[in-house]
Amino acid sequence: MSTGAVRWLEPLQRSVPGLGTGVLARIARFDDALTGLLAAFPVDHGLAPETRSLHLRQVRQRLAADSLLSLAVPARHGGHGYPAGIQALLQFACGYHDVNLRDSTGLGHGQLIADHATPQARDRWLPAILAGAVPGIAITESQGGTRVHATTTHAVAAGDGTWRVTGVKTWISRLTEAAVFCLFFTSPSGQLTAAVLDASSAGLSRQLITPAGLSGWAWGELRLDQVTIRPCDILGQPGDGMRLLRGHFAAYRPLVAATALGAAAAVHDHAAAVLACRRHDGTIPRVRDSALITLGRTWAQVNAALLGAVTAHQLAATGHPDAETWGCGVKAHAADIAYQAASELALLEGAAGFTASSLAVKVRADLNALLYADGIHDSLYRSAGRNLITSATPALPGTATAPIPQPRDSPDQALAST
């Protein structure tokens, strides 16, 4: 019988396209590889931040060397071409070990480069990402991630055909580890635009901020002072920024959801094992009904949300018109479910569930950060609700058919970038 993350995934073989015995075995190999790599390159909170950062990069590089990084990356991009939904299961396995491992598999934010970069930029960066280089994204500013239209980082035209970008991006994850950023700014004409940015570019500086969770990666401000952007660095076309963001996060958020659920599954297994051991050694005569109910309810919630995450990612991969709504709703729901489950399950361990070394304590801190990272949960629910109202056909007699007024920030989708 399989153990760990794979035990949760085995029942999904009839629900996830392409998840046959052979693919599940490859995921099991990936899961085993993570176990071995974390023994060699631990990412425990007790380590110095720079050590955790180094180890996370080494895990990604070793997985790449073992052909385990790109299992669900399309063959056209240099990957193994497994079905899109498999990436969500790989993210679940990462979260089961440690939420900070969310960048250990796949293209991550490098998907923007694969899908929208010029041939010159794609040829430069995609092989490096598949070999283990870390891609980052720089969207948010001090005003937060829900107001992308208010971006102040801006470009001015230079006389040589390039642009010079100046501004400050805040709450940026992978701040010192990323080899390349997907940068969002306003073009000289004031349109939201995206570009590939070499992390070693002249004019870049960084200010670290200590996060309360997801502290495996460096986090803080990315400052740009007259940073050069060439025409070949532009993603899509100037002015495509919002379109690229919405399409990218429709696919990316379900992966975040799956990662969060993997972490909750690990806490669930740990709590169940603690109760089983206490009953076996006589510490407790029986497991209380309330504890059994908590175990059963959180197990069902995690499994149901995981199926939603896989579905949402598949919808995005096929360009379904509802993919954005699913991505918003599933990410918010999964992060909520995962955090609530970890909090309830910690109570089953008693005082041990609240010590500094407790798995539940560490996971809750990371999941609390995921309530805000890659989209604040309330804003995502609001975005999903807005999409549902906008697309609804009035059916009641006398229902007005005029367009529904939208808030000033209605194009934005809570894009906090951690």
pLDDT digits (tens, 9 = 90+) for 200-243: 999 999 999 988 788 889 999 999 999 999 999 999 999 999 99
| pLDDT above 50: residue 131 | yes
- The CA-atom distances, in angstroms, between 357 and each of 295, 382, 407 are 22, 36, 44
Half-sphere exposure of 258 (CA within 13 A, CB side): 31
State the average pLDDT over residues 280-300.
93
- List b or e across 2-40, with b for residues whose CB sees 16 or more CB atoms inside 10 angstroms: eebbbebbeebeeebeebeeebbebbbebbebbeebbee
**Tokens 């609390």 -> residue:** 368
Total tally of structural domains belonging to the chain:
3
pLDDT digits (tens, 9 = 90+) for 62-116: 999 999 999 999 999 999 999 989 999 999 999 999 999 999 999 999 999 999 9
- The CA-atom distances, in angstroms, between 174 and each of 2, 75, 196, 220, 373 are 33, 26, 15, 9, 13
Confidence of residue 410 (pLDDT cuts 50, 70, 90): very low
Last residue of a domain, one of 208, 239, 270: 239
What is the DSSP code (8-state) at residue 141? B
26 found inside a domain: yes
Average pLDDT, the chain: 91
Do residues 251 and 365 share a domain?
yes
End-to-end CA distance of the chain: 36
Identify the H or E element spanning 309.
helix 289-317
Are 117 and 128 in contact by the 8 Å Cβ rule? The answer is: no
313 found inside a domain: yes
Count other C-beta atoms under 10 Å from residue 390's C-beta.
12
56 found inside a domain: yes
407 found inside a domain: no
State the average pLDDT over residues 310-328.
95
Are 110 and 125 in contact by the 8 Å Cβ rule? The answer is: yes
Burial category of 290 from C-beta neighbours within 10 Å (exposed 0-12, middle 13-18, buried 19 and up): exposed
- The CA-atom distances, in angstroms, between 33 and each of 54, 89, 93, 386 are 18, 15, 11, 42
User: Phi and psi for 155 in degrees, rounded to 5?
Assistant: -110, 145
Give the CATH number for residue 203.
Answer: 2.40.110.10
| pLDDT above 90: residue 334 | yes
Give the CATH number for residue 326.
Answer: 1.20.140.10
State the average pLDDT over residues 128-136.
98
Domain limits for position 18: 4-106
Euclidean distance between CA atoms 56 and 227, whole angstroms: 28
Structure confidence at residue 407 (pLDDT)? 43
